[in-house]
Amino acid sequence: MRTFLLSIGLLAGAVVIVSPSVQSQSDSKKQAASSAQEGQEKTEAQPTKDRSADDAAIRANVAAFVKAYNAKDSKAIAALFTPDGQIVDKDGDVNEGREAIARAFAGLFAGSPKKRIEVTVDSIRFVGADIAIEEGSTKETPAPGEPPEYDRYTVLHVKRDGKWLMAMARDEEGPPPSSHEQLQPLAWLVGDWVDDGGNVVVNSTCRWSEDGNFLLQEFNLQVSGKNAMRVSQRIGWDPLAKRIRSWVFDSEGGFGESLWTRDDDIWVIKATGVRSDGTTASSTNMLVPAGKDAYVWRSRDRIVDDEVVPPIEVKVVRKTPRPKR
């Protein structure tokens, strides 16, 4: 114990008794640290370079790209790149040089002449005086009313001879369209409709569900002026099968489902169901638009309880809105 206390005392004495040379070295280090800190504070106090003009120039290029894309002007798009610029698509394919870039966009426009693009710039970061990195997202609509396609992108900009140009643009897969967007090609069904087959009249209505993810249809079948059956249909997007599907329920206890496929403007609907008596039914239905306010409903390949049933065809027209009081 005494040895331990003695050691503590010697250590304390060594800390307290500092030679002048050591003290001088310590003061020098403190002065150097203080000078370095002052220099850092001065550096931090200096204002950063104003890049607003460069930022505006790059955003002007983005606007020019959108304008040229929607005008299907592939040469104008290529002119926004450096002579050795590159574009890299989602599959990793590379097109290098203005001519190759122009050909790539010309091919894209030929295949999708109605496609339009919207660009959202998320950030523009400057790396030195003549390099900038732009990141953002795109929304491409193949045609009016079609589900959009979303992508992420990164563009490397360089400043040459005082002008900002794109040196490389890379696309990445974005999020899939929402269920609501997938159903947009059928949005024209929203409203009130009627088909009059003489003795049989079917009044129907279609609306969006509150969450916007389904189209809800209600059919009221009347025979000789009397209500005979009500049918409810819910149309939605199947993210697993990646197609439109619908579910049907009638007032007698029957139910069924359908798979929808689009062929140009015609919808082909493969339907199967179970009637309230336990018998099965199937058919191939076709929904053929006939102008803005009408469509033709065709049903063929109709089988009910293993018996073939004749095809039917009716024309459905939109009801005239009631005048507001």
How many residues comprise the chain? 325
What is the rounded average pLDDT of the residues 149-175? 95
283-321 pLDDT, tens digit per residue, is 999 999 998 899 999 999 999 999 999 999 999 999 987
What is the rounded average pLDDT of the residues 147-165? 96
Gap between the Cα atoms of 184 and 54, Å rounded: 39
CATH of domain 52-175: 3.10.450.50
Confidence of residue 104 (pLDDT cuts 50, 70, 90): very high
List, by residue range, all CATH 3.10.450.50 domains of the chain: 52-175
Give the burial string for 86-118 (b: 16+ CB within 10 Å, else e). Answer: bbbeeeeeebeebeebbebbbebbeebeebbee
List, by residue range, all CATH 2.40.128.20 domains of the chain: 181-318
pLDDT of residue 304: 94
Gap between the Cα atoms of 31 and 163, Å rounded: 47
Side-chain half-sphere of 179: how many Cα atoms within 13 Å?
Answer: 17
pLDDT of residue 12: 28
Percentage of the chain modeled with pLDDT above 90:
76
Which residues, other chains included, contact 3 with Cβ-Cβ below 8 Å and sequence gap of 6+? none
Regarding the domain with residue range 181-318, which homologous superfamily does it belong to in the CATH classification? Calycin beta-barrel core domain (2.40.128.20)
175: pLDDT strictly greater than 70:
yes
The CA dihedral of 36, 37, 38, 43, to the nearest 10 degrees, is 90
Gap between the Cα atoms of 320 and 26, Å rounded: 94
169: pLDDT strictly greater than 70:
yes
Contact 85, 168 (CB under 8 A): yes
Gap between the Cα atoms of 158 and 80, Å rounded: 11
Gap between the Cα atoms of 112 and 100, Å rounded: 19
Helix (H) or strand (E) holding 36: helix 20-45
41: pLDDT strictly greater than 80:
no
What is the rounded average pLDDT of the residues 210-219? 97
Contact 109, 72 (CB under 8 A): yes
Gap between the Cα atoms of 130 and 152, Å rounded: 24
Gyration radius (Cα) of the chain, Å: 35
26: pLDDT strictly greater than 50:
no
What is the rounded average pLDDT of the residues 142-147? 89
CB atoms within 10 A of CB 155: 24
Specify burial of residue 134 (Cβ count, 10 A radius: 0-12, 13-18, 19+): buried
13: pLDDT strictly greater than 50:
no
Gap between the Cα atoms of 192 and 294, Å rounded: 11
pLDDT of residue 144: 87
